[in-house]
A = this chain, B = another copy of it.
Amino acid sequence: MEHRSKVLVVEDDAGIRQSLFQTLNALGFVIGEAGNGEDALVRLRMVDYDAVLLDINMPGMGGIETCRKMSQQYPGLPIIMLTVLDEEDDKVEALDAGADDFVTKPFQIRELTARLRAAIRRSKAVVVAPNELIVIGDVTLDRVRHRVQKLEVEIHLTPKEFDLLSYLMEHAGRPAPYQRLLTTLWGPEYGNEREYLRVLVNQLRKKMEDDPARPTYILTESHIGYRFRES
């Protein structure tokens, strides 16, 4: 079930590469390795990676140049660069070359994975947006046919309920503030009518949550709004 993200590690130091391989592999990532930029580009042509971990200091085609080529050839591919402390100027260049984020060596593996996951999540989110089909967990929302299914079973929603769910699922993972929900659902002049929202959420939960009192899909962010759980 759980989709293991594929990450390409590009690093000339075989020791670091090895250690990254072991650690990330143990954490559930599928790792590909490359010792230089050219090699990395070849591997990208063969395998569909979810992200690239790229050392900025490499002999031959350097990290910056590799980064530029990658982001040209594979726009949207998350690239995280490994930089050394106090070489902040490199980062500006790297950003320009299309890097998404940085981790400075020596790094904590926790920070690395956190940024890696965040970058992958972001890249996926972009794909979802123009898509007419959103699938999260057991729930499938078809924006074209205006239909919602949970575990292959159709759930009948009223138009307002559908719009709410649609908005929440599109922004799954991040809280949707009351105000935004109200204005997108009812119009700009409605901004304070939270009661409407409460009632609507309640109806929606009754239709799609196993236990409306203990929701697992539509979660409430107290004082802020609501958010759909992510994947």
Contacts and interface: CB of A to CB of B under 8 A. Distances in A.
A173 interface: yes
A121 B133 CA distance: 12
Given A111-B135, A128-B92, A174 B146 contact: yes
A110 B173 CA distance: 20
Contacts of A87: 3
Contact of A129 (B86, B102, B146): B102
B128 A114 contact: no
Interface in A89-126: 89, 91-92, 95, 101-102, 108, 110-111, 114-115, 117-118, 121, 124-125
B222 A125 contact: no
Contact of A101 (B115, B131, B146, B224): B131
A149 B151 CA distance: 31
B3 A174 contact: no
Nearest to A223: B159
Contact of A128 (B91, B128, B129, B224): B91
Closest 3 CB pairs of A and B: A88-B124, A91-B128, A111-B135
A146 B175 contact: yes
A230 B142 CA distance: 14
Contacts of A221: 146
Contacts of A114: 133, 135, 140, 149
A102 B89 CA distance: 25
A68 B113 CA distance: 36
21 contacts: A88-B124, A88-B125, A89-B124, A91-B129, A92-B127, A101-B133, A102-B129, A108-B135, A110-B140, A110-B151, A111-B140, A114-B135, A114-B149, A118-B133, A145-B174, A145-B230, A146-B175, A146-B224, A158-B222, A159-B222, A159-B224
A128 B111 contact: no
B88 A121 contact: yes
A64 to B, nearest CB: 14
A138 interface: yes
A211 interface: no
Contacts of A151: 110
A144 interface: yes
A195 interface: no
